[in-house]
């Protein structure tokens, strides 16, 4: 039997127009451009304006994906949106996007895996393609983190931003595209990066709002340690599983949470600095958006050639983490 793999036939990304610099944040909380840059690598991030939400960013990504892939909306079979900041609990962001782009034959859903949302989405989409059941799968990673940020909490509000990106997956019989993946989850880490309120555990109430429990809370130091270890280990694991070393990788696209995490993870798994894509300086941490935006930028800037091995790795709340190995081929 001929085996099918999923290849990425189009990528796109989108952000809100409004930029918030570190200097803007200096006016809101007790922080400094110098601290943010040296501790995280971030200089600025994009933030939504009034009345803008994750489905708006996703719709913009989806429209670009249709143009770039040459597909019509009714050829899309499935829409998967990785996000922890959906417009609503229900309907799903995927349903809103389906309606916005008039993808009349698509079904789909939102996928909640925080910073691993795009990696988990690619794995899910790839499995759908490999099953032979679907031809065109749209995967989007998006977050409007400012909707859950506490601008009185300098531990979190300086690191996140809004934005998203995505890809169209199609099947190929040429053994390229997404050739391997390793996904992990460890729920014992859940308490270290959490939005405590607003769900069924602590439904919205006057008290929950007064206690600021609808905002994201993070134990930064603990997450930092797990992120370095998790991202380095899973990247090294997928390389050795495929008999590759860091030298074989043309481009490493890690989740953009902190430049120090990226540097440490890349060093630990033997990938030289010039092969590591870093754009956190301009976007901050867009959660499910980071890898999708970075991959789209890399394609746009012609940083990937046919035959290249590209490694995508994430770590985030849950804890969730994983790697996807792509043998690039657009033809
Ligand atoms: O994407 C999801 C996964 N998330 C992550 O991977 C994030 C992981 N964590 C981190 O990236 C880092 O832990 C942070 C960037 C969140 C914090 O950096 P850190 O180097 O761990 O800082 P810290 O919490 O140890 O704080 C060091 C100092 C403290 O002051 P003292 O106690 O040394 O006087 C903080 O109060 O920096 C202070 N500080 C700040 N100063 C200015 C903490 N936040 C700020 C701030 N501006 N925004």
Provide the residue ranges of all domains of the chain, joining segments of one domain with +. 5-175, 179-327
Distance 85 CA to ligand 1 centre (A): 23
pLDDT per residue as tens, the chain (331 positions): 678 999 999 999 999 999 999 999 999 999 999 999 999 999 999 999 999 999 999 999 999 999 999 999 999 999 999 999 999 999 999 999 999 999 999 999 999 999 999 999 999 999 999 999 999 999 999 999 999 999 999 999 999 999 999 999 999 998 899 999 999 999 999 999 999 999 999 999 999 999 999 999 999 999 999 999 999 999 999 999 999 999 999 999 999 999 999 999 999 889 999 999 999 999 999 999 999 999 999 999 999 999 999 999 999 999 999 999 999 975 6
Catalytic residue among 13, 176, 226, 255: 255
Query: What's the CATH number of domain 179-327, 3.40.47.10, 3.40.50.720, 3.30.300.130, 3.40.50.300?
Result: 3.40.47.10
243 assigned to active site? no
Ligand 1 shell residues, CB under 6 Å: 31, 35, 39-40, 115, 154-155, 158-159, 193, 220-221, 223-224, 227, 257-258, 261, 285, 316
Sheet with 78-82: strands ordered across: 107-111, 78-82, 137-144, 162-172, 5-14, 177-185, 320-327, 309-316, 249-254
Which CATH class, in words, describes the domain spanning 5-175?
A: alpha beta
Residue with CA closest to ligand 1 atom 44: 155
Rounded to a whole number, what is the distance in angstroms from the first to the last CA of the chain? 23
Q: Which of 241, 320, 315, 310 is nearest to 7 (CA)?
A: 310
Do 5-175 and 179-327 share a fold?
A: yes
Residue 224 Cα: closest atom of ligand 1 = 8
The reported pTM is 0.97
Distance 219 CA to ligand 1 centre (A): 9
Residue with CA closest to ligand 1 atom 39: 155
50 assigned to active site? no
């Amino acid at each position: 039997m001929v085996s099918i793999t999923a290849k990425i036939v189009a990528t796109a990304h989108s952000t809100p127009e409004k930029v918030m610099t570190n200097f803007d944040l200096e006016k809101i909380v007790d922080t400094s451009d110098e601290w943010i840059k040296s501790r995280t690598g971030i200089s600025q991030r994009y933030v939504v304006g009034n009345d803008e939400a994750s489905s708006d960013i996703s719709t913009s990504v989806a429209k670009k994906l249709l143009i770039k892939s040459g597909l019509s909306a009714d050829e899309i079979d499935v829409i998967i949106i990785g996000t922890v900041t959906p417009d609503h609990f229900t309907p799903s962001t995927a349903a809103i996007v389906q309606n916005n782009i008039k993808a009349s034959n698509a079904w789909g859903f939102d996928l909640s895996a925080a910073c691993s949302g795009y990696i988990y989405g690619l794995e899910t989409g790839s499995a759908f393609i490999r099953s032979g059941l679907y031809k065109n799968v749209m995967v989007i990673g998006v977050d409007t983190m400012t909707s859950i940020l506490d601008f009185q909490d300098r531990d979190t509000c300086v690191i996140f931003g809004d934005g998203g990106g995505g890809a169209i997956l199609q099947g190929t019989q040429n053994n390229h595209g997404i050739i391997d993946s390793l996904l992990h989850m460890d729920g014992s880490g859940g308490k270290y990066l959490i939005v405590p309120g607003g769900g069924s555990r602590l439904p919205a109430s006057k008290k929950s709002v007064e206690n600021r429990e609808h905002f994201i809370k993070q134990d930064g130091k603990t997450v930092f340690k797990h992120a370095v270890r998790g991202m380095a280990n899973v990247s090294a694991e997928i390389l050795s599983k495929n008999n590759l070393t860091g030298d074989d990788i043309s481009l490493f696209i890690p989740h953009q949470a902190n430049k120090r995490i990226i540097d440490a993870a890349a060093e630990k798994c033997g990938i030289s600095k010039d092969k590591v894509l870093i754009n956190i300086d301009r976007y901050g941490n867009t959660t499910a958006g980071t890898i999708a935006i970075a991959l789209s930028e890399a394609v746009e800037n012609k940083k990937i050639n046919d035959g290249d091995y590209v490694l995508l790795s994430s770590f985030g709340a849950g804890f969730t983490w994983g790697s996807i190995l792509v043998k690039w081929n657009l033809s």
